[in-house]
Amino acid sequence: MLINLAHAADAAPNDAGIMGFLPLIVIFVLFYFMMLRPQMKRAKEVKTMLDALQKGDEVVTAGGTLGKVVKVTENFIGLEIAANTVVNVQRTAIQTLLPKGTIKDI
């Protein structure tokens, strides 16, 4: 008998309107400001750093190789990792630009 009463109950009104989407909108805005925007800013800084690389800069690659830039081309950079030892790495493999003189301190 109770089951029949449960089936006979009216459906809840669906008048949520914009208030139903408000939590979703707030989550999207928070996601944008907490995750997407800082990531886009960092990507822009890295692109600026890679475009400004020049001969004589000291850099660290994504693999952890420390070296001095001796040749810059469109896609590759020649890194001197030891005396008379030059390796070519992709420009996108450069992770960090170090202050001048860092290699001598190590």
pLDDT tens by residue, 46-92: 999 999 999 999 999 999 999 999 999 999 999 999 999 999 999 99
Same domain for 59 and 105, yes or no, is yes
Same domain for 45 and 62, yes or no, is no
What mean pLDDT, rounded, does the chain reach?
88
| Nearest alpha carbon to residue 79 among 47, 48, 55, 43 | 55
Instruction: Note the pLDDT tens digit of each residue in 15-36.
Output: 667 788 888 999 999 999 999 9
CA distance 17 to 44: 39
Q: Does residue 10 form part of some domain?
A: no
Alpha helices by DSSP H, the chain: 2-7, 18-31, 37-51, 102-105
* pLDDT the model gives residue 27: 95
Determine the structural domain holding residue 77 and report its residue range. 54-106
pLDDT band with cut points at 50, 70 and 90 for residue 6: low
Same domain for 60 and 106, yes or no, is yes
Same domain for 68 and 105, yes or no, is yes
Same domain for 77 and 66, yes or no, is yes
Count structural domains, the chain: 2
Q: Which pTM was predicted?
A: 0.69
